[in-house]
Amino acid sequence: MPRYRYICNICQSEQLIFHLFDEKPDLQCKKCGILDSLEKAITTPLRFKKNIKPSEMPIGELTKEYIEKNREILEQEKQEAKEETYESS
């Protein structure tokens, strides 16, 4: 059963009321007791982020994510490679 958030016009208390979409609920405030003082609060719908598994991501996105996560490590390895001196045999 869906739940809806109502706010009292008199005491500004917030209440959750469970009822069907087409059902007319009892709109009496539980805090102040005044009948028909509750008004449905406008809410935004929940949006969940997709959790994409690495196997489902495009290859370009996987590469970009790898580079971003490991940018510092790659820079350190680059510096070490520049500083290394090679002895000729």
On whether the CB atoms of residues 8 and 32 are closer than 8 A, the answer is: yes
| 23 within a domain of the structure (yes/no) | yes
By residue range, what is the domain housing residue 66?
Answer: 54-83
| 9 within a domain of the structure (yes/no) | yes
| 46 within a domain of the structure (yes/no) | no
| 45 within a domain of the structure (yes/no) | no
**What's the pLDDT at 87?**
58
| 35 and 59 belong to one structural domain | no
pTM value > 0.85: no
| 49 within a domain of the structure (yes/no) | no
On whether the CB atoms of residues 27 and 37 are closer than 8 A, the answer is: yes
**What's the pLDDT at 5?**
87
DSSP 3-state of 26: coil
- pLDDT tens across the length of the chain (89 residues): 688 888 998 998 888 888 888 888 888 888 888 888 888 887 666 666 666 666 666 777 777 877 777 787 778 778 877 777 665 55
The structural domain count of the chain equals 2
| 36 and 8 belong to one structural domain | yes
- Side-chain-facing half-sphere of 46: CA atoms under 13 Å: 2
